[in-house]
Structure 1
């Protein structure tokens, strides 16, 4: 027997249930007006909200993201995104083996897609990220030490972040945990890895971020007393709900709040998206 996809309720074979695969789609049609008038934006990307037009989850809602002109880290973004997910999967799989909760923790996985060559010169051949739209989205902690202080899933996510430090010998922390809670599973979206020597991109705050996470963390009934943590964690940042990015000039940029198109400088609702599962290149077609 299989399981329903958390994002779209498609019935999936067991293979996809156990390997964090959810949406098997290869095409999205994006009208020009959706690109000219994005659904939302973050610090570096514009975002369009569309539907898959082929594959197992055809007709289901997805997100297309592409970089703004002049955005920094463009060349490394896709590589680092996959690197973060690979490490997060390793950590989450080990956490699931502890059977601390009855649900399975999973991660939606991004797909790097390409605008087709037969589109306009402005878009042809350009990479984009295609991700399925996550439902019932909640954010439980950030990469700057903030947590929502909630009971239940808030405590579980804090325990997951704490756990990630223990088997890595104090080298990693998995954080910035935002997810959708479903009947059989919890699906994480866009997590962050903090590494002591800071190798996971602009959201990796390094050893300072790890120290600050634990300066704000209070163990709960989901944390094992044997899990290690820094002896004297220090507060390095101001904890904020949004994701903190460090640019090459080491300037910190808060990107947790999304600016709505046409309202530059005004805060909009946080953008809720989850990552697609097809690691092959798909195609975004323009109407």
Structure 2
């Protein structure tokens, strides 16, 4: 969604790019991970709306309606639903895999949609990136860090490498780590937040360096 009318088609370019990238990663995930469930990101198209004589056309994006109960399994800032920790363990595993697959450069998250016996049908994804290239919802390294603070690896992803809190001992102040823990508690209590924790540039540089070192390691840990 956008605030107000959209009068230029390129305003939706980032949205379409996110869907395309998420869809590509989901297809690759299916090939690489031995799991009998499909992840489908909905097809989304851009349309021109005729607003009448003497008025500029507006531009919207639309997708097929998703049938069934709508669920949110994780957010772009570390929230993971109880269902994703049990019956739908594939959801956080896919988020984890996307980080490993891209060597720490990107992470697909904000997974939501419906499911049936044939798989999951997902809409409105977010992609986090180290250089924040995927629009306003891309909260970058902060979102990646909050995900791994909350994520408990399951049978699907337990062998994949990941950053752990002990990786930052002696590198980040206790005050910052305590603030992360406080934010983690807020994240666990809901899917949306009035404010997100922003790292200073110094902290960002430290976290990125540690994350990349782990993500680029040759061996799974």
Question: Which structure has the higher relative contact order (CA within 8 Å, separation 6+)?
Answer: 1
* Structure 1: 5+ residue stretches without partners: 1-43, 46-66, 247-287
Please name the residue that 1:208 is paired with: 142
- Report the alpha carbon displacement of residue 182 of structure 1 after superposing the two structures with TM: 2.2
Q: What is the TM-score of this pair, normalised by structure 2?
A: 0.70
Task: For 1:104 and 1:79, locate their aligned partners in 2 and report how far apart those are by CA, in whole Å.
Answer: 26
Q: What is the number of equivalent residue pairs in this alignment?
A: 175
Structure 1 outlier segments of 4+, above 3 Å: 74-77, 119-122, 231-234, 242-246
* SS in structure 1 at match of 2:26: helix
* SS in structure 2 at match of 1:173: strand
Q: What is the TM-score of this pair, normalised by structure 1?
A: 0.55
Deviations 1:25-57 (A, max 9, x none): xxxxxxxxxxxxxxxxxxx54xxxxxxxxxxxx
* Structure 2: 5+ residue stretches without partners: 169-176, 197-221
Please name the residue that 2:20 is paired with: 86
Q: Which has the higher strand share?
A: 1
Q: Which has the higher helix share?
A: 2
Q: Which of 64, 80, 97 is 1:132 aligned to?
A: 64
- Cα 1:203–1:92 change in 2 (3 A) is same
How large is the RMSD of aligned CA atoms in angstroms? 2.7
1:202–1:245 Cα contact (<8 Å) kept: no
Please name the residue that 2:87 is paired with: 152
Task: For 1:244 and 1:220, locate their aligned partners in 2 and report how far apart those are by CA, in whole Å.
Answer: 30
Please name the residue that 2:31 is paired with: 97
Please name the residue that 1:193 is paired with: 127
Deviations 1:90-137 (A, max 9, x none): 2111211134432211110211101136x3555x51101122211222
